[in-house]
């Protein structure tokens, strides 16, 4: 299994997105395998996946609307942002999300 980490930056306020819920769902599953919240740095305290085993197809789901509503900002456009990834065995993946209530960008980081 690969290693998978993420972090979220709130571009609306120019700061890390502390307290955003992130879910990890394996391909074919209807329920999340894991649901966690970002810390004060907009990162997770532990990897979503931490090596060993095979790779696979996963979906990261970022709960954007809930995060912005909790911060007092309406988010009428984005609700949950799904990011589909195909991960190879033994590889390390870091998937940052840059987000506002109206747009987002995601990429494979280092």
pLDDT tens, residue by residue, 18-30: 999 999 999 999 9
Residue 3 in this model has a pLDDT that exceeds 70: yes
Q: Where are the domains of the chain?
A: 3-106
Rounded to two decimals, the pTM is 0.94
CATH of region 3-106: 2.60.40.180
What is the DSSP secondary-structure string of 32-85? -SEEEE--TTSB-SS-SEESSS--EEEEEEEEHHHHHHHTT---SS-SEEEEEE
Q: What is the pLDDT of residue 55?
A: 85
Q: Return the closest-CA partner of residue 88 out of 6, 4, 29.
A: 4
Note the pLDDT tens digit of each residue in 34-79.
Answer: 999 999 999 999 999 998 668 899 999 999 999 999 999 999 899 9
């Amino acid at each position: 299994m690969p290693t998978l980490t993420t972090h979220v930056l709130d571009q609306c306020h120019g700061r890390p997105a502390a307290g955003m819920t992130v879910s990890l769902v394996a391909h074919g599953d209807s329920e999340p395998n894991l649901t966690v919240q970002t810390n004060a740095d907009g990162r997770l305290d532990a990897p979503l996946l931490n090596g060993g085993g095979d790779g696979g197809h996963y979906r990261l789901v970022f709960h954007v609307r809930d995060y912005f509503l909790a911060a007092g900002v309406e988010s009428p456009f984005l609700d949950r942002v799904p990011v589909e990834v195909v991960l190879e065995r033994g590889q390390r993946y870091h998937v940052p999300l840059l987000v506002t209530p109206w747009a987002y960008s995601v990429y494979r980081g280092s």
